[in-house]
Chain A
């Protein structure tokens, strides 16, 4: 069943990408074309075939001690904050998470 613009609006909300009405039309038509391209995946009998999630098997999570890297690979505070548009002291600054109008992010800040 083809995706509707309503479906795509929901996907875009989930993906946190705001779409204009024009983009919504374009993306709906694209997604339906792309899904058609993926149909061959359903043409094979895959019963009993194990999935391969990664070309290198036996991967496990790598943990390290919570300390700065002796080889200087840890970012300094200055470097870590350099690319952020809004900072305050040692922190990244963000607008209200819950949307309190009183804490409205000043325009252009």
Chain B
């Protein structure tokens, strides 16, 4: 079967239900796309061809037996490699977990499989999700499918790139400070960080437990909405005490513009000094597109935004230090041989198992939680969190969603940003919604005039208003398409790859 990358998730399901093609044909087409493009993109750490063909055959058997098919029947999906799936390794792109076999399956993964999705494999990431470019993977550097000399963003860079390159239809990533939205922006796809608690974290390797949230990537808002339905439909997950019940109404009225839609803009952020000229141009176009769809733009403010990045780089490392203490080389993970004592074995297993950024974050967390230092940073960071929550509450009294940049620039070149604290600055516009626990989505709005790379805008909404946020995202997507700037479903063109057979013009 040809052109599976041109189909939306809903049209794949419809085609299988109608008998136009089988789930097995779709899985084989996805495997063929992976074979052809992976040598240039390297989005995957593992391709689970056997699991995929088995799941697709089960879907085809259900159809043949006249049984009802799930809402994601036969849709090729892939999972960030910090999500457990039995039958695959869960490496977190770390030497520490290089050969770690998933002992159980994450709820978010299981829910997509229960909806009929076909699991194509596990995607690359920054080690333990520490990073913004996927260059911190211990195994390979994923390339941006729009220009293979550039990064895909991160930390969920493999999940963003696999969807952008048309290798699969949907992926899951995790977002602790922007790790879904920023790579979605760099790769020209839609990426959503749902409200904290909307998606179960059971089976997700923890980074920052009060910040982490799993969410979907797709080539259109409608595909992301379909995935959100599958993620929340079975209700609250008893295996995650922070899981909340969310109604699966993400497709209801998705195409109907919101009556009296008010979108908040923060002039100081829309004209922030860190923004490149093309990102500014994209934001202007996004504002116009929303106005064209009936939105009223209102000026609002998040006065404590400048403190958010500092609060994040206190809370994130402290929670990471605590969570990564479990990697001691005893029950799982790399174990240094030949050590005389348990303490020596622990220290050397962690020294050899973790990469540089994982060590940096843990040392920072260890320092910040030390006696005497705690009061100077950790406690104030939690107080700043209160101020940010309150800033958002004030802003959302005047608007349904905020329009913000996703990232200050388009995707940079591999190796271009090497200073870790400089890398942290690229999270400036995304972290505050993790701090507050509300929802955000990145939507492509065109291609940059200078770099030719995807431009995006970010929408953030109040906690548990995820469905409304996606309706506004759909309005933005529709407006951007009407302006001829970017069409939903667009597949990246692998610029920089010369072999014509890989990507026919």
Question: Which residues of A approach B to under 8 Å, CB–CB?
Answer: 3, 8, 11-19, 23, 26-27, 30-31, 33-44, 46, 49-56, 59, 62, 73, 75, 79-80, 82-86, 92, 94-99, 101, 104-109
Contact = CB atoms under 8 A, between A and B. Distances in A.
Given A37-B424, A38-B310, A56-B244, A46 B101 contact: no
Given A37-B309, A40-B306, A41-B384, A12 B363 contact: yes
Contact of A55 (B103, B197, B362): B197
Nearest to A42: B380
Interface stretch (B117-125, B341-349, B470-478): B341-349
Interface of B: 100-101, 103-104, 196-197, 210, 239, 241-242, 244, 304, 306-307, 309-311, 313-314, 321, 325, 328-335, 337-348, 350-351, 354, 356, 359-360, 362-367, 370, 376-377, 379-387, 389, 419-421, 424, 436-437, 463
A62 B242 CA distance: 10
A83 B84 CA distance: 14
Contacts of A101: 340
Nearest to B353: A17
Given A8-B363, A40-B310, A41-B310, A75 B103 contact: yes
Contact of B421 (A37, A51, A55): A37
B332 A83 contact: yes
A86 B335 CA distance: 9
> Which 4 pairs show the lowest CB-CB distances between chains A and B?
A55-B437, A51-B382, A83-B332, A107-B338
Contact residues of B: prevailing secondary structure: helix
B345 A105 contact: yes
Contacts of B321: 15
Query: Counting chain B CB atoms within 10 Å of each CB, which of A13, A16, A35, A84 scores highest?
Result: A16
A4 to B, nearest CB: 12
Most B CB atoms within 10 A — which of A36, A38, A39, A79? A38
Nearest to A60: B241
Contact of A83 (B310, B331, B367): B331
Given A17-B350, A30-B420, A46 B359 contact: no
A92 B345 CA distance: 14
A94 B340 contact: no
Contact of B332 (A84, A95, A98): A84
A73 B95 CA distance: 27
A59 B242 contact: yes
Given A52-B386, A55-B197, A97 B359 contact: no
Contacts, number: 185
Contacts of B379: 51
Given A16-B346, A50-B386, A62-B241, A99 B376 contact: no
- Interface core residue of A62, A85, A97 (most chain B CB under 10 Å): A85
A30 B101 CA distance: 33
Given A30-B360, A56-B197, A105-B339, A51 B385 contact: yes
B311 A41 contact: yes
Given A37-B424, A108-B337, 6 more contacts: A15-B321, A56-B242, A59-B241, A94-B342, A104-B340, A107-B338
Given A15-B321, A107-B338, A55 B359 contact: no
A27 B346 CA distance: 19
Contact of B103 (A12, A14, A36, A79): A79
27 contacts: A12-B363, A18-B347, A23-B356, A23-B359, A27-B359, A34-B313, A38-B377, A41-B381, A44-B307, A44-B380, A44-B387, A46-B384, A52-B382, A52-B385, A52-B386, A55-B210, A55-B437, A59-B242, A80-B331, A83-B101, A84-B331, A84-B332, A86-B335, A94-B342, A95-B344, A99-B341, A108-B338
A37 B310 contact: yes
Nearest to A108: B337
Contacts of B384: 41, 44, 46
Contact of A41 (B314, B360, B436): B314
A83 B332 CA distance: 5
Given A39-B310, A79-B103, A95 B339 contact: yes
Contacts of B421: 30, 33-34, 36-37
Contacts of B338: 105-108
Contacts of A75: 103-104
Contacts of A84: 330-332
A13 B82 CA distance: 27
B351 A19 contact: yes
A53 B103 contact: no
Contact of A37 (B101, B313, B354, B437): B313
A83 to B, nearest CB: 4
Contacts of A96: 340-342
Given A83-B332, A92-B331, A105-B345, A42 B376 contact: yes
A41 B350 CA distance: 30
Contacts of B100: 83
Contacts of B356: 23, 26
A46 B380 contact: yes
